Amino acid sequence: MNDLNLAAKVKVSSGEHPIWVGWDILDTIGEKINEFVETPIAYIIADQNVQKYVRKIQTSLESVSIKAHVFIIPPGEESKNLNTVRSIYDWLASMNAERKHLVIALGGGVIGDMVGFVAATYLRGMPLVHVPTTLLAMMDSSIGGKVAVDLPEGKNLVGAFYQPKFVMSDVSILKTLPERELNSGWAEAIKHGLILDKDLFDIFENKSDELFSLDPELSTEIIRKSVSIKADVVSKDEKEQLGIRILLNYGHTIGHAIETVTKYKDYLHGEAVSIGMMGAAQIAYKVGLVKSLDIIKRQKSLFIKYKLPTNFNNIDTKQIFSAMHKDKKKSNGDINWVLLDSIGNAVTMDNIPDSIVMDSLRELTEN
C-alpha cells in the first residue's frame, strides 16, 4: 500500500498514527500491523453485519504469522452498553489476552466506540486498530480517540480518549451499505464543509450524482478530504480543551438528544445530526449570527438532496430540551452551542436564552 492511500496523520500527546483511505486495501492490513504494532495475536471484534470481512482480515493476518480470534456481537446502538462490554472482557480473559496483543474493531461507529473503550480499559490498555465499515465511522467516529458506551440516561456518558495505532478505511466496503446508511454518513462530511471548508460543501452541492453512485475515485477523494479535516482538528485539540474540536459537534447537541429520546430507534446518527444542524441554524439566525435566511435554505436544500431529514415528528420538544441539558458539552450549566456565521465557518456560543432554543425546536416540528 503506497502513500497515495495515506489520508492524514493524527498527531496527539501519545504520538502520531496514520489513517489509510483507499479502494480495496483491506488485504494489506497484516503488513501494516506488522509495521505499526508487532503482535503475535489479534482479537477481531465485529458485529454480525460485517462477518464477511472477518475472513479477509484473518487471511491477511495469517500471511504474516499473526494468530486471530474472533468475537461477534449483535449490531446496533442497543448493544453499546456496559453489559456487552462485560461479555467482551469475559471473552478476553478466557483467551488469556495480554497487553501486547492487538484488538481490532471491525464495524461501524457502535463497534468503534465500544471496542475502543474495551481496548482502553482491559489490562489498563491494549493496542487498538480501527477498521471502520460505514461511511460515518470512516469520516468521524474512528478518528480522534473518543471511545465510549451509552447509559440509559444518555449517549457516550462513560468513556475515555484512547488513540489507535492506525485506522484503515477500505472505501470499497461501502458498496454493500444500504442507501439510507450511506446518506447518513454523508451528513458528517457535509458538516465538515459547513463548519470548516466551503469548497467541500460546494462539491457536495455539485457532485451529488457521483457520490450517490459511490464513484471510486471521487468518493475516496472526498472521504480523504473529510478525514484530513477532522484529523487536523483533533491534532490541534485532542481532548476538547481549546475550543477547537468542539466545532465538530455542530448539530450534535440536538442530534444526540433526539437519539436519546427516541432510544436510538427512529433515526440513524447522521439523520439526527442533520435535524440538529437545522436547529442550530435556526438558533444562529435568531441570535443574529446568520444575517440571511439564504444560508439556512442552502443547508436545508442540500440535506433534502441527500435524503436527510430536516425536521422531526411525534417527539415532545420538552423531552429533547431536557435531554440536551444532560449533554457532555455543557460548561457551568450552560450548553456550549456550535453555530454557523457563514458556510465554511463556525463559532461557539453559550448563554443562549431557553426561549430561543425552544422556539427553534418547535420550528423543527413544523418545517
Backbone phi, then psi, for 143, in 5-degree steps?
-110, 125
What angle (nearest 5°) sits at the alpha carbon of residue 242, between those of residues 241 and 248? 90
| Predicted pLDDT at 149 | 96
Residue 69 in 3-state DSSP?
strand
Residues 6 or more apart whose CB falls under 8 angstroms from that of 241 comprise none
Backbone phi, then psi, for 282, in 5-degree steps?
-65, -40
Q: How far apart are CA 197 and CA 212, in angstroms?
A: 21
Q: How far apart are CA 276 and CA 364, in angstroms?
A: 9
Residue 224 in 3-state DSSP?
helix
Q: How far apart are CA 356 and CA 46, in angstroms?
A: 43
Burial group, residue 351, by CB count within 10 angstroms (0-12, 13-18, 19+): exposed
- Spatial CA neighbour of 269 closest among 76, 115, 116, 50: 76
CA atoms within 13 A on the CB side of 292: 7
Q: Which domains does the chain have, with CATH numbers?
A: 3-176 (3.40.50.1970), 180-363 (1.20.1090.10)
Q: What is the pLDDT along the chain (367 residues), one digit of tens a residue?
A: 557 899 999 999 889 999 999 999 999 999 999 999 989 999 999 999 999 999 999 999 999 999 999 999 999 889 999 999 999 999 999 999 999 999 999 999 999 999 999 999 999 999 999 999 999 999 989 999 999 999 988 889 999 999 999 999 999 999 989 999 999 999 999 999 999 999 999 999 999 999 988 999 999 999 999 999 999 999 999 888 888 889 999 999 999 999 999 988 899 999 999 999 999 999 999 999 998 899 999 999 999 999 999 999 889 999 999 999 876 555 556 899 999 999 999 999 988 999 999 999 999 996 5
Q: Which residues are catalytic?
A: 124, 146, 188, 230, 240, 245, 249, 252, 256, 269
Contact 333, 244 (CB under 8 A): no
| Predicted pLDDT at 207 | 93
Contact 99, 132 (CB under 8 A): no
| Predicted pLDDT at 241 | 82
Per-residue pLDDT tens over the stretch 287-331: 999 988 999 999 999 999 999 999 998 899 999 999 998 765 555
Answer positive or negative: Cα dihedral of 330, 336, 337, 340. negative
Residues 6 or more apart whose CB falls under 8 angstroms from that of 1 comprise 20, 22, 25, 28, 31, 32
Q: How far apart are CA 145 and CA 81, in angstroms?
A: 18
| Predicted pLDDT at 4 | 81
| Predicted pLDDT at 250 | 96
| Predicted pLDDT at 244 | 87
| Predicted pLDDT at 328 | 54
Contact 154, 260 (CB under 8 A): yes
| Predicted pLDDT at 367 | 56
Please state the pTM of the whole predicted model.
Answer: 0.88
| C-alpha cell recorded at residue 187 | 451528513
Backbone phi, then psi, for 267, in 5-degree steps?
-130, 140
| Predicted pLDDT at 330 | 56
| Predicted pLDDT at 2 | 56
| Predicted pLDDT at 325 | 85
Q: How far apart are CA 299 and CA 281, in angstroms?
A: 9
